[in-house]
Amino acid sequence: MKTKFAGAFAISAVVVTALGATDGVTAQADVATGLYVGVNQLRQSCGPIRQDARLAAAAQRHANDMLTNSNFSHVGSDGSSPKARMADAGYQVAASGEIVFWATGSSATAEAALAFWMGSPGHRAIILNCTFAAAGFATASNGNMTTAVGDFATP
């Protein structure tokens, strides 16, 4: 388990470093890594989902948008859909799903996001859908609020 966690952390750290921070918005690699690890624990009957940097980039775009524009929806403030954001990031999508979360203070944890998603039938169905072979997770924080996005896809 330590090897898998270290690998997931390294992937998340690369994605966070590559995407950087914009206008006081920062990504939180530890929360994104916790989401990836937690989702894989929930999907044990499916096998591990592959972390994809393109999906992580699409998720980061939306996490930043939600935080910056107080746009807590699956539709971006620019009108983009999850599938369009994934395609813009270079991932050719056959089927996709997106899960979003936002919280403040001590509620802004990977555990809280996973509990929220598993308590929502639509989000739970995305997480447990074994046809989704790849995913990308991202967070954004301004020091007060944190947003989290998970983009799931089948090529």
Q: Does residue 7 have a pLDDT over 60?
A: no
Residue 69 forms part of a structural domain: yes
Nearest CA-CA partner of 6 in 47, 44, 51: 51
Phi, psi of 148 (to 5 degrees): -140, 140
CA distance 95 to 102: 24
3-state secondary structure at position 22: strand
| 152 is a domain residue | no
Instruction: Provide the domain limits for residue 101.
Output: 29-137
Tell me which residue has tokens 């001590």.
Answer: 106
* Residue 76 reports pLDDT greater than 90: yes
Predicted local distance difference test score (pLDDT) of residue 88: 96
Longest dimension (CA), the chain: 41
Confidence of residue 8 (pLDDT cuts 50, 70, 90): very low
Q: 20: how many CB neighbours lie within 10 A of its CB?
A: 10
| pLDDT at residue 30 in the model | 72
Render pLDDT for 90-144 as a digit per residue (tens, 0 to 9): 999 899 999 999 999 989 989 999 999 999 999 999 999 999 999 999 999 998 8
Residue 75 lies in a domain: yes
The answer to whether residues 68 and 145 touch, using CB atoms and an 8 Å cutoff, is: no
* CATH code of the domain containing 48: 3.40.33.10
32 confidence band (pLDDT: 50, 70, 90): confident
pTM above 0.75, yes or no: yes
Give the least confident one: 26-40, 56-70, 73-87: 26-40
What Rg, from alpha-carbon coordinates, does the chain have? 14
Number of independent structural domains in the chain: 1
- Classify 29 as helix, strand or coil: helix
Res 21 pLDDT > 70 = no
Angle of helix 29-42 relative to helix 110-118, nearest 10 degrees? 40
Please give the average per-residue pLDDT across 141-153, as a whole number.
Answer: 94
Question: Does a structural domain hold residue 21?
Answer: no
* pLDDT tens for each residue of 46-73: 999 999 999 999 999 999 999 999 989 9
Check if the beta carbon of residue 55 is closer than 8 Å to that of residue 35: no
Q: For strand 134-141 and strand 95-104, is the pairing parallel, antiparallel, or unpaired?
A: unpaired
Q: pLDDT at position 25, please?
A: 56
